[in-house]
Structure 1
Amino acid sequence: MNIRNDPTHPDDAAAGIEVTPEFERFTQRNDIFTRAFWDDSIRSAKTDAFFASYRMEATPRRGDGFGQRDFALRNASWLISDVITNRGAEDGKREGFQAPIANDTPVAPEQVPVDDPTAMSAEVKRIAQFFGADLCGITDLDTRWLYESRVDTRDLSAAPNDLPEGLTHVIVLGHEMEEDLVATYPSALAGAATGREYSHEAAVVMQLAAYIRNLGYEATASMNDTGLVIPFAVKAGLGEYARNQMVITPEFGPRLRFSKIFTNLPLTHDAPKPQGVRAFCDICTKCADACPVKALPFGPPEVTNDSPSSIKGVRKWTSDAAKCFGFWAKLSSDCAICMRVCPFNRDFRKWQHRMWLKLALSPARKIALWMDRKRGGRVKPAAWWARQG
């Protein structure tokens, strides 16, 4: 697959993406989760215990939100994702995370003619919704955001990041996380919101990819593997990049996971839709203030090339991945305090939150920030369990 030598792209400005001449594609071996297996500066007894807790091999922490049933629900929520992930282990392919999801169906030998790519795009979005996706956008296959190499999990070496030839589009899917569970971060219980959506998205992305292959076109299903999903999501018009390193969507704020499909099905692209999130984040530091280990940045976006776990040559807000993951390891679970406290963490299906959003994206954003000052507090995990009766 050809890689562009020019780091710029026509829709970068609209997407809020600023790429500098120092740009380098990211090597997945350097993501913080993979480094926790091979980099002695990251790996520790706590990181080993973090991974072991997902197999219930580590003793769960005590306390509200960190008891055995909290870990049990979190780990159960990951089950379907884990089944998919583990099936390629013998070949060093952790599908959905360090390798694309293998095709379970062949490409049909006869292609359904596509005379109207715009109509086909609408059809894809309808089918994505049918299978359970909450959002769907389409963009071009901008190869800058593909990983330079993937990871062979047998020895943690770099491996070719191969995709079928001729792929031209990326279908990006969004999957909403449960608001009530997110409100209990940090807790093992809250981790069930993450795991459930990874399991959901595995099913959705595989089914939609199978549908496209049944139409006679290539379709490679992908979760965290193969490429960086955030720039694809922004380019597909699903939202805007924020200080907390997440995509803020007008439907769910930052409260969702993303998956993607690489395909050659004739489609039209959605455009980036900047609405003012960047300007709001310029005056808001709630996520950075709330981070227990101060892993999130204050100040404007910068080009940071000092960590192997950050992409080089892109001006953006960048977290300290080592500090962030170190706190995860201490908890034996993921932390999304930055998601919980984000002023955009709202259900915009409700009229009062849509009114707040309109204010937040206007020149009156300071009033919106003031109105949000008392929101985002942690809900006790016991309260979530109590509501289930």
Structure 2
Amino acid sequence: MDRVRDRDTEAGFDVREDFRRFSQRDDIFCRSFWDPEVRTHRSDMFYETYRTPKLTWRSVDGFTQRDYALRNASWHVTDIFAELRDGDDRREGFLDPYTSVREGPGSTLPVESPEEMAREIKHAAKTLGADLVGITGNDERWLYTHAYSRENEHEKPQEISTDLGNVIVIAQSMDRELLSTAPSALSGTATGATYSRDTIVLLAIAQYIVNLGYRAVASMNDSALVIPLAIQAGLGEYGRHGLLITREYGPRVRLGKVFTDLPLAHDRPVRFGVKETCDLCRACTKGCPAGAIDDGEPSTVVHNRSNIQGIRKWTTDAEKCFRFWANQNTDCSICIRVCPYNRDYRDRWSRVWRRLAGTRLRRFALWLDRISGRGERLRPSRWWAAPGGA
């Protein structure tokens, strides 16, 4: 237990005695299919806009036919894999782990050094398209107690077990210009395109490990809570908006993971001042039109059954958040757009700002951010008019 507490302290986790693991059935998106408190005509229409080619399009900038056309096209690859085994009551990548991996060679490559193998895995993963890669242990607390059957609207057994003792966590960066158009259907293109890349990279990493003779299960939004795993794997810190904030891309990432029995050395959590900056900053709270983001100190508050119990942290009200998504017929990324860490860190000034935010000068850094105009909404029509599309 002392080892677990030390590991939690290093990661910034405050797990209490009343902690309870989470069932995927209580995820807000799953609830929008079975729970009458969440499922409405508007939520049904929200999902319909991703599937139906003939809709009554809005004339509002960012919600026209071309905006939805590009958003839905961006989801195409990940949708193909999600629907491959619908007849088997599987929605892979979102409710169930991926199974599209060929058999291995039947022989196992000896691993003399977990440290060297971790280095090789990261090198291979980045070659295959991952932007960020971290490795941690399979922490049972973050595994869903049960998976969710959309076909039967009930819980079903969890497929991942702790005998796959290591987790490779990857982060894929999202297009910053597209996200700048939020709220809009166009901004949802950044989400879909990143998930489609995520699918390809996760399956390729899993296949590489299987080719080495080990077991590997590729997982995107299914099977486990990925943000705590990403924090343990050293990819970033937890933000007030409930998202991972990375040094390289801020909160502008989507996450995936590969569970494996390949011997691998683990990474350590990182700190670069996010907690201290979020203690002062309220950009996401003020920017959220649904009023879903915590304004106070970290606490153990549970807004509804879509929140995990027994952890002291900033907690977003998932019901309020999803209701806004449903009402505007697309996902929302306003909290990412306005977050001061949402920057292009290839730019020297952004790197200077990040360094300031990690010091006692963070109030000054936040003031500079406020007066800079960074985070303002880009009109979708301007995105379309830009040379090359962006």
Retained in 1: the 8 A contact 2:133–2:168? yes
SS of residue paired to 1:379: coil
Percent identity at matched positions? 46
- Alignment partners' CA distance in 1, 2:266 and 2:100: 24
Contact 1:8 1:19 in 2 (8 A): no
Displacement after TM superposition at 1:109 (Å) = 1.2
Contact 1:53–1:59, Cα closer than 8 Å, also in 2: no
Q: Is the 8 A contact 2:140 2:162 kept in 1?
A: no
- Between Structure 1 and Structure 2, how many residues are aligned? 385
Question: Which amino acid is the alignment partner of residue 108 of structure 2?
Answer: Q
SS at match of 2:104: coil
Candidates 59, 64, 68, aligned match of 1:67? 64
Letter in 1 for 2:23: T
Give the match's secondary structure for 1:269.
coil
Q: Distance in 1 between matches of 2:67 and 2:133?
A: 31
Residues 58 and 149 (structure 1), Cα distance of their counterparts in 2 relative to 1, 3 Å cut = farther
- For the residues of structure 1 that align with 2:47 and 2:2, how far apart are their CA atoms? 39
The answer to whether the Cα contact below 8 Å between 1:89 and 1:153 also exists between their aligned partners in 2 is no
Q: Which residue of 2 aligns with 1:130?
A: 127
**Which amino acid in 2 is paired with 1:51?**
Y
Structure 1 position 102, deviation (Å): 1.0
CA distance in 2, matches of 1:202, 1:9: 33
Task: Report SS of the residue matched to 1:289.
Answer: helix
SS in 2 for 1:302: coil
Instruction: State which drifts further: 255-264 or 303-312.
Output: 303-312
Given the alignment, which residue of 25, 35, 38 partners 1:39? 35
Give the Cα–Cα distance (whole angstroms) in 2 for the partners of residues 7 and 103 of structure 1. 37
Change (3 A) 1:136 1:115: same
Q: State how far apart, in whole Å, the 2-side matches of 1:348 and 1:305 are.
A: 35
Q: Which residue of 1 aligns with 2:104?
A: 107
Deviations 1:252-283 (A, max 9, x none): 00001000000010100000012210000000
Structure-2 separation of matches of 1:325 and 1:122: 39
With over 3 angstroms needed to count, the CA separation of the structure-2 counterparts of 1:323 and 1:129, relative to structure 1, is same
Aligned mates of 2:71, 2:335 — CA distance in 1:
19
Between stretches 322-331 and 303-312, larger displacement belongs to 303-312
Q: CA deviation at 1:293?
A: 1.3
Q: Deviations over 1:290-344 (max 9, x none)?
A: 1111000101111123411000101111111111000000110000100000000
Structure 1 partner of 2:282? 285
Report the AA paired with residue 64 of structure 1.
Answer: D
CA distance in 2, matches of 1:46, 1:247: 29
In 2: Cα distance, 1:272 partner to 1:72 partner = 40
Structure 2 residue aligned with 1:86: 83
Aligned position for 1:121: 118
SS at match of 1:316: coil
Cα offsets for 1:32-51 (capped at 9, x unmatched): 11111111111111000000
Shift of 1:93: 1.1
TM (norm. structure 1) is 0.97
| Structure 1 unmatched runs, 5+ | none
Per-residue CA deviation, residues 221-250 of structure 1 (Å, 9 max, x unaligned), is 000000000000000000000001111101
Aligned to 1:147: 144
Deviations 1:180-206 (A, max 9, x none): 101101100000000000000000000
* Cα pair 2:138 2:162 within 8 Å, conserved: no
**For 2:22, what is the secondary structure of its paired residue?**
coil
Q: 2:376: which partner in 1? A: 377
Aligned to 2:304, the other structure's residue is in SS state: coil
- Structure 2: which 5+ runs fail to align? none
| Structure 2 residue aligned with 1:386 | 385
- SS for the counterpart of 1:243 is coil
Q: Distance in 1 between matches of 2:315 and 2:365?
A: 25
Distance 1:134 1:312 in 2: 32
- Of the three residues 313, 323, 327, the one matched with 1:326 is 323
2:44 aligned to 43, 48, 52, which one? 48
Letter in 2 for 1:380: R
Q: How far 1:58 moved relative to its partner?
A: 4.1
The structural deviation recorded for 1:10 is 3.1
Asked if the contact 1:7/1:19 (under 8 Å) is kept, the reply is no
Matched letter for residue 111 of structure 1: T
Which of residues 327, 345, 350 is equivalent to 1:348?
345
Do the aligned partners of residues 272 and 7 (structure 1) sit closer, same or farther apart at CA in structure 2, a change above 3 Å counting?
Answer: closer
After superposition, the CA RMSD in angstroms is 1.4
Q: Which residue of 2 aligns with 1:21?
A: 17
TM-score w.r.t. length of structure 2: 0.96
